[in-house]
A and B are shown apart, each in its own frame.
Chain A
Amino acid sequence: MSSWVHLLSLDLAVVGLAALVMLLDALASLRGRTIGALVVAGLVGVLIASFQIDVTGTTPHGAYVSDAWVLFFKRIFLCAAILGVLGSIEWLDRHAPKRQAEYYALLLFSLVGMLLLPGARDWVLLVVAFELMGVPLYVLAAYAKNDTTPGEPKLAAEAALKLFVTGAASSAFTFFGLALLVGLSGSTSIAQGAQMSPLATVGLMLVIAGFGFKLGAVPFHFWVPDTYQGAPTPFVAFLSVAPKAGGLAALSVILMSTGWVGAKELWAPAIVVISIASMAVGNLFALPQTDARRLLGFSGIAQIGYVLIALAAATEQGLAMALFFIAAYVFTNLGLFLVVHAAAQDMGGHGIAEMSGLSRRSPWLGGALLVFLLSLAGIPFVIGFWAKLFVFLEAYRAGLVVPVIVGIVLAVVGLFYYLSVARQTFMAEGKSDEKIHAGAPLSAAIAVCLLAVVVLGLWPGPLVESANAAAAAFLGGR
């Protein structure tokens, strides 16, 4: 037993941290920002440990594999959680001072589910990890219980219920698909792959649909804008990146690590269709939005479309570039949401019109917003440019010409709404010239995202290399 427990040491450390948070809340009744600081410190410790200790290996029956692929994803999830917690500290302290520990514990449990996902090679482990990731998110979406935003009295309940209904329906779809796949293949090992048959195809499509919900890909995207608008914004910053990376990990494990990779003709067209639809719906529906959170919701749907092109390529390089893209997306989108949150706190709302004059009231928040927007739009030389370029290149090399052309055209459409937000913050006159005060943790989180987006944009080499190594390790160990 002890021979493989070390494979899970990072995950277990996060479980321990969550337990500690709940214990401290119950026994020492820690209040204020201390718990948030503790969680950040613990997670940073786990992130550093992921570089220091060797956790690679395989469990005896191959249900869990830990390699460069798993580590790449674990570091992304840990970064997203650290930044998400940093961004939440002030909001929690102000709006839910007595319910801080539960927030962090739930976020940590969701994180544990994410950490387990990319290494799962057994259907049971994969599904349990996926649900562990999902269920705490439903609770967190309803966290703004007292509905503090003026003019939006009932949004939190609506946001959480919509997330729950779509999420629960998606897991039911996954269960049914799983029943067919496991029943037909006679093994719970994902690598086994079922014999090709119409029934197995139905099972595979149901599983893809189930995971598509969490990715927020079209046609499973209805919850995205409503939930983003109603849930607490710092939590949405986390929700908009980490579970999507988790969904990508799960989908890659299913499609690329099984007998299914041989059945590429079967699933690749489905992914291409989902990807084109996501890019089209995301980019076009984002154009008329007037609420920054809804706009970012649709923009996120479009970004997932770009990632799925790379997955549909079904090559090692394509997969590597999907990893690069999702890493770029995590830092960019998290940072952008946190800037919107910081601005909205002082500017009276999340509408794009309310953002006017942001650059004058806080030059550094305005500058950060501009950089993140440029990165999402894919302008050189920030990280989002390389992400889009690499994804389109690899998809083109794999022969996916049509989705690449559609993607490039729609990326130009994307420029309009990204730059219209930038125009509003820089050109339009604001209502006042009062300075905006984002607190230290929030500013630190935004600064880290900004640093990552700029530095990796100027110097993407190391991230590309580690993404390549991750994809190679994943497919090599198939």
Chain B
Amino acid sequence: MTLQHCLLLAAAVFAIGVYGLITRRQAIGMLISLELLVNSANLALVAFAKHAGAPTQPLVLFVLAITVAEVAVGLALVMLFYRRYDDTLLDQANEARG
């Protein structure tokens, strides 16, 4: 695997994440898509460290820690949403109107 291969893989995972984020209507599905997005960044970071000697490996730890904090809050919000709507289907979230 060269750097190109790794970056292509990362870009593919990123694209899948974006696609999932746009098409998923369940909040859980969106959370999983968010994880894909973040982990594609991690893949790229590790690839740069291995193949180009860039100082990106410690960054992965920072990204992971930040994401854990984010997803913890996100899951709590999904729980709150579930209690209000008895479902995690985001289509129902159209109360806000002008």
Residues of A within 8 A of B (CB): 123-124, 127-128, 131, 135, 138-139, 142, 145, 152-162, 164-165, 167-169, 171-173, 175-176, 178-180, 182-188, 199, 225-226, 229-230, 288-291, 294
Contacts and interface: CB of A to CB of B under 8 A. Distances in A.
16 contacts: A124-B62, A154-B85, A154-B93, A165-B30, A165-B34, A172-B34, A175-B37, A175-B42, A176-B14, A176-B40, A183-B52, A184-B54, A187-B54, A188-B55, A294-B96, A294-B98
A178 B77 contact: no
A152 B53 CA distance: 54
Q: Which 8 A-B pairs have the closest CB atoms?
A: A183-B48, A172-B37, A175-B41, A179-B44, A226-B96, A176-B41, A158-B93, A157-B81
A135 B52 contact: no
Interface residues of B, number: 45
Interface in B41-93: 41-42, 44-45, 47-48, 52-56, 58-59, 62-63, 66, 69-71, 73-74, 76-78, 80-81, 83-85, 90, 93
A229 B70 contact: no
Given A161-B77, A165-B30, A179 B66 contact: no
A138 B77 contact: yes
B24 to A, nearest CB: 10
B70 A186 contact: no
Nearest to A291: B98
A158 to B, nearest CB: 4
A105 to B, nearest CB: 14
Nearest to A295: B98
Which of A127, A179, A184, A230 has the largest number of chain B CB atoms within 10 A?
A: A179
Contacts of A169: 21, 34, 37
Contacts of B44: 176, 179-180, 183
Which DSSP category, helix, strand, loop or mixed, fits chain B's interface?
helix
Contacts, number: 142
A290 B98 contact: yes
Which DSSP category, helix, strand, loop or mixed, fits chain A's interface?
helix
Interface of B: 7, 10, 14, 17, 21, 27, 30, 34, 37-38, 40-42, 44-45, 47-48, 52-56, 58-59, 62-63, 66, 69-71, 73-74, 76-78, 80-81, 83-85, 90, 93, 95-96, 98
A150 to B, nearest CB: 13
Contacts of A171: 38, 66, 70
Contacts of B78: 161
B95 A168 contact: no
B30 to A, nearest CB: 6
Contact of B81 (A138, A161, A172): A161
Nearest to A175: B41
A289 B98 CA distance: 5
B80 A157 contact: yes
A478 B74 CA distance: 38
B34 A145 contact: no
A168 B93 contact: no
A188 B61 CA distance: 14
Nearest to A125: B62
B70 to A, nearest CB: 5
Contacts of B71: 168
Contact of B59 (A159, A178, A185, A225): A178
